Structure 1
Amino acid sequence: MRSKALLLGSLVVGIMSAGCAVAYEAEEGEVGDAQQAYVSRAWAYAWAHQATGSYTATSSYSRNSAGDNFAEGLDNTVSQIATGRYRVRFPDVGAAPGGHVQVTAYGGGSERCKVNSWLRSGDDVDVYVNCFTAGGAPVDAKFSVAYVRKSGTGSSGEAYVWANNATAAAYTPDPMYQFNSTGASNTIARQGVGYYAVTLPGQTASGGTVEVTAYGAGSDHCKVGSWGQSGNNVVAYVRCFDSAGAPSDGRFTLNFARSRAVNGGLSYSYAWANNATAASYTPHLSYQEGYIAGDLGDVEADITAARTSAGRYSLSLPGMSATGSNVQVTAYGSGPEYCKVVGWGGSETTANVNVACFDESGAPADSRFVLVYTDDKFIVL
């Protein structure tokens, strides 16, 4: 991370033009890594800012790689199907099947949301989202959702899986819904009830991040247990729980990135908030990063975090823009606590994100978590 971020106020902020799939240039430290250019991405994200009805997602927090300069999300739309059930339509990013989805509930209450399913609808992608009370009843809720589909091979730094079998002792997830930038196949092993090890061959744990969302129609929820290096691979552990907080076998989606855009977009920031009780601190420097696309590259200033009350946190993300952004949060640890986004905002040079975490009953609870922030900033000096 470099102090160039402090100069943002005097720079021109632009948006890179692209079609449906975006081939990223090598980021700083990777110049000459020609293979990385072969990893392409189609992506879209939205903030579902209303808990009821059908509407176009607000343009300030909705983007789509198929749009003209990603402008205003190409009318990403949200439709309520029933209590706590929604369809999010991302136009023109469905040129091929597969991809990956993350969902995070939004607001001050204890609701939580998850991916029910996603599929192609012509050239579009439809993502279905279910939201529940802490007790597991369907409930209307706001949420943040991100879709990305990656293809090709290159250097290490990117992988995702849809864990489509909750009870198999060991298996290779559906090839259509998994990706590894090294070209290897990711695998999953069940360690116990609701406890899984996801192996991502050829990846490096230090400096990376992991996000998880539960999958399916039920009210179970999943989180990151931990991740680390095992030989030449990353092994990420996932824990899933039922609405009473007991370990429960469940399907889920998992996304990993190291020095790469996690959920599409152009610029990004992520952090492992590794201290649940400190009044203020700098999250672990080995697992946080900020990157501004274009001429700036890595952000020098560190992400900082503060605990404002039990289970409530505020993070400051230098260099990130509040407009055109998306936030995903995943609780971290072995217990049934879960986390969500309360809100985010800020300026064109610093974004601020508020996070709330809860225990299995829906009461505020201190918890560690992983935060992934995406925006569409592109800086031209």
Structure 2
Amino acid sequence: MRAGRWRAVLRAGMAGLVVGAVLAPPAAAVGDPLPNLGVVATVWANQPTTAEYVVNNGYSWSSTEGDIVVRRTGTGAYTVELQHAATSTGVAHVVAYGGGPVHCTVANWYRSLLGGNHLLIQVRCFAATGAPVDSRFVATFTNRQQIHQGRLAWFTTDQAAPTGVHTIPASLRYDSTGGEIRYERLGTGHYKFYVNRHPEGEREHPYFPMTHVTALGSSAVNCQISWPDSWHVRCTNAAGNPVDARFAVTYGVRIDLLGHAAGPRFASGTLYGEDSRDGRIFGDAYNSTLGTYGGGWGVLLGTGRYEMTFEGTGAMFGTAFVNAHLPHFDHLPSRGHCVLASWGRSGADTVVRVNCYAWLGVPANLNARISYTTWPAS
């Protein structure tokens, strides 16, 4: 979708709620003359078996003057082309959409070498067995390095099994506090990353941190992050066994997944499925429309099926995202993964529905971190 052109194509069944090789480190090319162009994009890829199509729905947007094109290159294999998004630095995320037990990874992203200065993001999707499967998905990309408030950090790891505490190369990270970002491997598939503390001014504000993680690679791996400020990440294969992997993280307070601190309406929160009881589920949230902690609440619809409402964020255009997150105690392993089932406007609010599964596809009550953001003009 071209920037500034809002085309709301609400398809049948979407009224109210949307129906739902070894990875090379993404790094700047030697002698790369192009500056950081401030690329921000989000894609709802909704035609999983189409060979190639221009994304033309009200749930996709790019800050550049160019179309978004999705190409299917094999079963469960897709390339998202962000036209005129010539950049080598940033962070990409992806999540499966549609409600079934599918999870997706980012295999790679890079600037196209032929046919124009575009950004190409490779996505892979897998069934509960780990076999490739065609799927709808939501992908995001940002390389924003300026915010008006809050704190923003993003990074991609460059090694699956670093030795000791490893500093991430400058081309693969950003932190608005100006600090380095480091990480270490604590065990097979178990990592901890280190970032600066929040600025003093941010500690005066009530907030709930926003964090999301995506596994990087072409195999069926899922990574999850822990309680926001303990910074543990665990990665597993489709059966739930720990595996070493690279991953991408976006982390911050009073910002959205795309790095906006002002302009759009946004919210992020966690529903604690592991503590659900008596048909109820509890959670925490931060909501930009309130500028404070809260403004989001959840409903337990069934085993592993949640609905989260973000107060006052309702808009015609927007994007939702979800990860399962680890149990409250960092020594406990990940239990499964979550997918987007739907999202949409409900009066003045936004309703996001997610489904969570234990490994191999059995519905399970997991902790789920959910985010939503409108477009800058909304």
- Regarding TM over 0.5, the answer is yes
**Which residue pairs with 1:268 in the alignment?**
266
8 Å CA contact 1:47, 1:61 repeated in 2: yes
Partner of 2:306: 313
Amino acid at match of 1:139: V
Is 2:101 aligned against 1:101? no
Any gaps of 5 or more consecutive residues in structure 2? 6-35, 327-332
Task: Identify the residue that residue 34 of structure 1 maps to in structure 2.
Answer: none
Please state whether the residue corresponding to 1:257 is helix, strand or coil: strand
Matches within 5 A, 1:231-242: 235-242=230-237
Kindly state the Cα deviation for residue 155 of structure 1 after the two structures are TM-superposed: 6.8
Q: CA deviation at 1:347?
A: 4.0
User: Given the two structures, how large is their TM-score scaled by the length of structure 2?
Assistant: 0.79
Q: C-alpha displacement at 1:50, in angstroms?
A: 1.2
Letter aligned with residue 216 of structure 2:
Y
Output the CA distance in 2 between the equivalents of 1:174 and 1:300: 33
1:350 aligns with 2:349: yes
Is the CA contact (8 Å cut-off) linking 2:272 and 2:281 kept in structure 1? no
Among 49, 56, 60, which residue is 1:58 paired with?
A: 56
Give the aligned partner of residue 46 of structure 2: 49
Distance 1:108 1:260, change over 3 A: closer
SS at match of 1:61: coil
**Paired residue for 1:231?**
none
Listed as ranges, the matches of 1:1-381 within 5 Å are 41-53=38-50, 54-67=52-65, 74-94=66-86, 96-121=87-112, 122-151=116-145, 157-169=151-163, 170-203=165-198, 207-228=208-229, 235-264=230-259, 266-276=264-274, 277-278=276-277, 279-281=279-281, 283-284=283-284, 288-292=285-289, 298=291, 302-333=295-326, 334-347=333-346, 349-376=348-375, 378=377
Deviations 1:105-138 (A, max 9, x none): 0012111111111111243211110000111100
Secondary structure of residue in 2 paired with 1:151:
coil
Pairs aligned (count)? 324
Change (3 A) 1:173 1:153: farther
The percent identity for this pair of structures is: 25
Q: Report the Cα offset of residue 375 of structure 1.
A: 1.0
**Does the Cα contact within 8 Å between 1:308 and 1:314 map onto a contact in 2?**
yes
Q: Is the 8 A contact 2:43 2:59 kept in 1?
A: yes
Q: Measure how far apart 1:141 and its partner are.
A: 0.3
Task: Provide Cα deviations, 1:63-102, integer angstroms capped at 9, x if missing partner.
Answer: 11124xxxxxx421211011000011112232x3210011
CA shift digits 1:124-181 (9 cap, x unpaired): 2111100001111000000000000023588761001101211113211232121100
- Normalized per residue, the structure richer in helix is 1
For 1:13, the equivalent position in structure 2 comes to none
CA distance in 2, matches of 1:300, 1:139: 39
3-state SS of 1:134 partner: coil
Return 272-281 or 172-181, whichever deviates more. 272-281
Pairwise CA distance, 1:300: 8.5
Aligned partners of 1:156 and 1:202 also within 8 Å: no
- Alignment-mate amino acid for residue 326 of structure 1: T
1:10-58 CA distance string (max 9 Å, x none): xxxxxx979xxxxxxxxxxxxxxxxxxxx99420001001111121223
1: CA distance, partners of 2:90 / 2:43: 16
Q: Is the 8 A contact 1:49 1:58 kept in 2?
A: no
Partner AA of 1:186 in structure 2: I
Alignment root-mean-square deviation, CA? 2.5
Query: For residues 87 and 348 of structure 1, do their structure 2 counterparts lie closer, same or farther at Cα, with a shift above 3 Å needed?
Result: farther
Q: CA, structure 1 residues 164+301, in 2 after alignment: closer, same or farther (shift >3 Å)?
A: closer
TM-score of the aligned structures, taking structure 1 as reference length? 0.79
**Whole-Å separation in 2 of the counterparts to 1:40 and 1:56:** 22
Q: Secondary structure at the match of 1:176?
A: helix
Please state whether the residue corresponding to 2:130 is helix, strand or coil. coil
Task: Pick the structure with more strand per residue.
Answer: 1
* Matched residue type, 1:59: N
Structure 1 residues 55, 299: closer, same or farther in 2, change over 3 A?
Answer: farther
Give the match's secondary structure for 2:288: strand
Tell me if the contact between 1:40 and 1:151 (Cα under 8 Å) persists in the aligned partners: no
Distance in structure 1 (CA, Å) of the matches to 2:103 and 2:293:
34
Q: 1:188 to 1:156 in 2, by over 3 A?
A: farther
The answer to whether the 8 A contact 1:153-1:182 is kept is: no
Distance in 1 (CA, whole Å) between partners of 2:345 and 2:78 is 28
Cα distance in 1 for partners of 2:293, 2:219 equals: 42
8 Å CA contact 1:45–1:146 kept in 2: the answer is yes
Measured against aligned partners, the alpha-carbon deviations of 1:169-223 in whole angstroms (never above 9, x if no partner) come to 3211232121100111100011111110011113379621110010011111111
Matched with 2:18 is none
Aligned partner of residue 58 in structure 2, secondary structure: helix
1:106 touches 1:143 (CA, 8 Å); kept in 2? yes
